């Protein structure tokens, strides 16, 4: 991976050298402004321009190689790759439901199921409590009757 970074850095420095070559005749004033270009100016400018273009292309190539390497290692994702499907919880068949309604149904289904279970348990507890109370009353009555018989 480091090799691509080194290559891109080298290419970028090459591009900077190309820019400098294009500007140098005017920056160092060995080319008078308005005058016909001298031989050194031609050499520097026409070496600098292709160097800039080629180095920029090289820099882009190295960076694309780096990106490919990162994707191959799984560090970077492809921008328009299909998302990995997540396993869904087993549930009843969805029928013709679709879109946001379907999503909402999937979200609410476990909640509603839990609520129903809770309600059923409460009903059972109430029934159990009623039956217990009825049994207590019967036992009390039976005890009273036994007492009256004893007398």
Partner 1 sequence: MAPQARIGLVVTAIGFFAGIWLFLAPFIVEYQKVGQDWIDATKNDLWTGGALIAISALTLILFGAFALRDAVRVAEQEDTTEAEED
Contact window for partner 1 (CB under 8 A) among 22-30, 76-84, 120-128, 133-141: 22-30
Tokens, residue 127: 């029934």
Q: How far is the CB of 29 from partner 1 (least distance, A)?
A: 8
Nearest to 24 by CA among 8, 3, 6, 48: 48
**Calpha distance 23→115 (Å, rounded):** 77
Contact window for partner 1 (CB under 8 A) among 62-70, 86-94, 127-135, 136-144: 62-70
Cβ atoms of 105 and 97 within 8 Å: the answer is yes
The binder of partner 1 chosen from 14, 26, 45, 105 (CB under 8 A): 14
What CA dihedral angle connects 131, 135, 136 and 139, to 10 degrees? 180
**Calpha distance 41→75 (Å, rounded):** 47
Q: Is position 19 an interface residue for partner 1 (rule: CB under 8 A)?
A: no
The binder of partner 1 chosen from 2, 82, 84, 107 (CB under 8 A): 2
Cβ atoms of 67 and 76 within 8 Å: the answer is yes
The binder of partner 1 chosen from 38, 104, 114, 116 (CB under 8 A): 38
Residues of the shown chain interacting with partner 1 in the complex, contacts defined by CB under 8 A: 2-4, 6-11, 13-14, 17, 20-21, 24-25, 28-30, 38-41, 43-44, 47, 50-51, 54-55, 57-58, 61-62, 64-65, 68-69
């Amino acid at each position: 991976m480091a090799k691509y970074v080194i290559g891109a850095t080298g290419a970028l420095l090459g591009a900077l050298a190309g820019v400098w070559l294009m500007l140098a005749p005017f920056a160092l004033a060995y080319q008078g402004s308005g005058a016909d270009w001298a031989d050194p100016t031609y050499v520097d400018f026409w070496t600098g321009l292709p160097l800039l273009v080629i180095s920029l292309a090289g820099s882009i190539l190295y960076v694309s190689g780096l990106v490919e390497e990162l994707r191959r290692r799984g560090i970077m994702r492809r921008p328009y790759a299909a998302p990995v499907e997540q396993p869904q919880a087993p549930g009843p068949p969805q029928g013709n439901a679709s879109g946001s309604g379907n999503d909402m149904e999937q979200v609410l289904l476990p909640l509603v199921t839990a609520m129903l279970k809770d309600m059923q348990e409460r009903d059972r507890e109430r029934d159990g409590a009623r039956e217990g109370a009825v049994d207590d009353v019967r036992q009390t009555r039976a005890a009273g009757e036994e007492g009256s018989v004893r007398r």
